[in-house]
Structure 1
Amino acid sequence: MTGSSGEFLAALSALSRRGAVEVVVGARAGGAAVGTLVADVFAPAEREVGLRWERDEWSVAQEHAATVIAELALSAVSQDGHDRVHGRLVAACVSGEWHAFPVRLVAESLRDLGWSVTCLGGSVPADQLEGFLREHRPDAVLLSATLAASLPGALESVAAARRAGVPAVLGGAAADAYPAAAAAVGAHAAPSDVLAVHDLLERLVGSPPLPEPPGAQAQQRCRDLHSERPALVDALGGAASALPAAAGSLLAPLVDTLAAAALLGDTAPLDDFTDWLTGVVRVRGGDPAAVDALVQALRREAAPLVPELGELATAGVRRG
């Protein structure tokens, strides 16, 4: 698959829909399973696409164009081809998570393994998810959170699934990076390997959802910060003015990442986001010290709202 992966990335770089489709259709004709293509071709290419934006090599427009081509190529190898033998699933991004391609990759891998999967795409509001689950009664719902900033949304999405009586499985890069995340929101943790996800889902068929998780105070802290996000973003405007334009759009995710840290009782999400944002600023010619000032401003503004979070915010400060 190494050759196919390089050819696929080259096609995305050239914005060649035909080239990308030919690579994966050819590999599929050669016997590659969809799950193999996802693991060895689609996922590595999509990670590189994101890194090219992060390194300021590609614009947002280029990144989006490449992702659309990758989605079209995925559709070309994902036609239904056998009877369903396992169960019915719904797959969706949690509320506030717009990176929809990762959940599609998992959905198509599971479809190829014999599951009936309805994929709802990016950022499904929790109340809408609940209504859909009540109407369609799947055996489980797969929820994806790529960013730690999406964990406040995951808390609400899993609660919606619980009210609908459907077991929830939380996966995605954020769930992988912070192993406590699934338990904190009351979901089963998705293994990183799709075959292990398949095995977990087979065990969940016919099972009730997990009970509401402990940690009511941490959940309330998270919800308080998330609900006050517009006011906090406005208050951070002065500190954000020193950042490059591309970084200035990341204030809302910064606040939600602090909310995720509150939910987990762990500074790691905020630390990681601060380090990542520092890199984004540096590569665009900005002053990394501006990120330090921004996080300190967030600490000051958030402390009156949720005083217990002062230490978390302080721990998140990184020196450039």
Structure 2
Amino acid sequence: MSTATAAADPTDAYVGYLDCLADADEYGAIDLATGLLDAGVPAERVLLDLVAPAQVEVGERWARNEWSVAQEHAATHISEQVVAAVAAHANPRPTGGRVVVACMDGEWHALPPRLVAEVLRLRGWQVTFLGASVPAAHLVSYLHRYDAHAVALACALPMRLPYAHRMIEACRRSDVPVVVGGRGFGVDGRWAARLGVAWAPDAPSAAELIADERALRGVPSARLAHLADDEYASLVRRRGELIDGALADVLERVPSARGYTATQLDSTVSDLGHIVDFLAAAVYVDDASLFTEFVEWLSGILLSREVPAGAVAHSLEHFSVALRDFPRAGRVLALGCAALPAAGP
């Protein structure tokens, strides 16, 4: 067990908390967090100034290939237990209406919206947290059964934005206002504005927005007239074909790929699928920056895993040829190629 002792301030306790996560010391992490509460630190600060930034660092250590997937999962589980311990320690009683918090369908990053749920609970709302990957139909069915003041939806990956839009519209048809958050909507919420939905950059902002129903409902309409060209729908229909073709191209261009293990092949197919999905999402919101930011991120991830820098460039070139009759996708792919780091020797 960690010997870290709780400081009187979350920022002072941060390094010790990260040490607990690195050592998979669940009890030490919980003791540190509850020690802060016993020292008089508000529960909201423990969640937002300790657990939240630590989880960001966990993700960055995975991205830098310093931590394995297993280490990342273990650390995330410990933080989830810490959130539960903080919530049990605070144990607030609701004074406001019901707010439903959920991840978009296909989204499995449940800790950030869980933090939002607990902050809302601390501020007096009656919160129902539905967790990761909630199908739209199931969410709507729940809203029909329970009278909700608002829905808070989280999206961590921009490639899920088309699904997020359908989920947002389904909630609205149930006459329940929606607030969204998460990196999937852009660091400045630009894609939330494109989808015509209220966006909050953090948990306190979400709480303030939910308390102001007029602001929650008074957002400009979605700006998606470009979808009339049917390019997005055609791109989605060709997803499987595009991935198969790109994989065949990789096996032809990179002789060593023919000796890939089943795990390596699965990883390659997953990366190609992500390229297509992020491309489709960029076409959906008509913003190439969604794709170029992903390409830069993917290149960094692959570089940290010693995958040649040219691997992404080859795949983008292949997709450019395969989608030569898709003008908007073609422009996005061209900008994606330009965003790639220069290939080394």
TM-score (norm 1): 0.90
Name the CA distance, whole Å, in 2 between partners of 1:45 and 1:37: 11
1:20 aligns to what? 29
Secondary structure of 2:87 counterpart: coil
Q: How many Å apart are 1:204 and its aligned residue?
A: 1.7
CA contact (8 A) 1:12 1:66 kept: yes
Distance change (3 Å), C-alpha of 1:2 and 1:90: same
CA contact (8 A) 1:110 1:198 kept: yes
Q: Does 2:315 correspond to 1:294?
A: yes
Q: Does 2:78 correspond to 1:69?
A: yes
Match of 2:298 among 255, 271, 277: 277
Match of 1:258 among 279, 296, 301: 279
Name the CA distance, whole Å, in 2 between partners of 1:83 and 1:252: 45
Name the CA distance, whole Å, in 2 between partners of 1:24 and 1:207: 33
Name the CA distance, whole Å, in 1 between partners of 2:331 and 2:211: 42
2:3 aligns to what? none
Name the CA distance, whole Å, in 1 between partners of 2:219 and 2:147: 16
Name the CA distance, whole Å, in 2 between partners of 1:209 and 1:225: 33
Q: Where in structure 2 are the equivalents of 1:1-320 lying within 5 Å? A: 1-79=10-88, 81-190=91-200, 192-204=201-213, 213-218=222-227, 221-239=231-249, 245=264, 246=267, 248-304=269-325, 306-317=326-337, 318-320=340-342
Q: How many Å apart are 1:140 and its aligned residue?
A: 0.8
Distance change (3 Å), C-alpha of 1:70 and 1:240: farther
Distance change (3 Å), C-alpha of 1:207 and 1:151: closer
TM-score (norm 2): 0.84
Number of residue-to-residue matches in the alignment? 318
Distance change (3 Å), C-alpha of 1:196 and 1:307: same
Secondary structure of 1:143 counterpart: strand
Distance change (3 Å), C-alpha of 1:122 and 1:301: farther
Q: How many Å apart are 1:186 and its aligned residue?
A: 2.7
Describe the superposition over 1:111-160 as per-residue Cα deviations: whole angstroms up to 9, x where unpaired: 11111111111121222222122222311111111121121221121121
Bigger CA radius of gyration: 2
Describe the superposition over 1:10-45 as per-residue Cα deviations: whole angstroms up to 9, x where unpaired: 101000111111111111222222321222111111
Name the CA distance, whole Å, in 2 between partners of 1:223 and 1:124: 23
Distance change (3 Å), C-alpha of 1:247 and 1:205: farther
Question: Which has the bigger relative contact order, CA under 8 A and spacing at least 6?
Answer: 1
Deviates more, 1:165-174 or 1:204-213: 204-213
Name the CA distance, whole Å, in 2 between partners of 1:55 and 1:49: 10
Distance change (3 Å), C-alpha of 1:222 and 1:4: farther
Q: How many Å apart are 1:110 and its aligned residue?
A: 1.1
Secondary structure of 1:141 counterpart: strand
2:5 aligns to what? none
Name the CA distance, whole Å, in 2 between partners of 1:221 and 1:184: 18
Distance change (3 Å), C-alpha of 1:166 and 1:222: farther
Name the CA distance, whole Å, in 1 between partners of 2:99 and 2:159: 25
Name the CA distance, whole Å, in 2 between partners of 1:203 and 1:221: 38
Name the CA distance, whole Å, in 1 between partners of 2:321 and 2:143: 40
Describe the superposition over 1:51-92 as per-residue Cα deviations: whole angstroms up to 9, x where unpaired: 111111111111111111110111011126333122211111
Q: How many Å apart are 1:236 and its aligned residue?
A: 2.3
Root mean square deviation of aligned Cα: 2.4
Name the CA distance, whole Å, in 2 between partners of 1:193 and 1:168: 15
Amino acid at match of 1:77: V
Structure 1 gap segments, 5+ residues each: none
Name the CA distance, whole Å, in 2 between partners of 1:83 and 1:206: 26
Secondary structure of 1:57 counterpart: coil
Name the CA distance, whole Å, in 2 between partners of 1:207 and 1:311: 35
Distance change (3 Å), C-alpha of 1:39 and 1:283: same
